Amino acid sequence: TKDTWYVYKVYKTLPETSKFNVDVIQPVPEESGVDEPGRYITLTTCTPVYTSKYRYIVWGELERTEKVDKDRTKPVELR
Give the pLDDT score at 63.
97
Q: Is the pLDDT of residue 21 over 90?
A: yes
Q: Give CA–CA dist 33/66, Å, rounded.
A: 27
Q: CA-based angle 37:57:20, to the nearest 5? A: 95
Give the pLDDT score at 1.
87
Taking only the tens place, the pLDDT of each residue in 34-43 is 999 999 999 9
Give the pLDDT score at 34.
95
Per-chain mean pLDDT for the chain: 96
Q: What is the mean pLDDT of residues 20-41?
A: 95
Catalytic residue set: 46
Pick the CATH number of 4-70 from 3.90.245.10, 2.40.440.10, 3.50.50.60, 2.40.260.10: 2.40.260.10
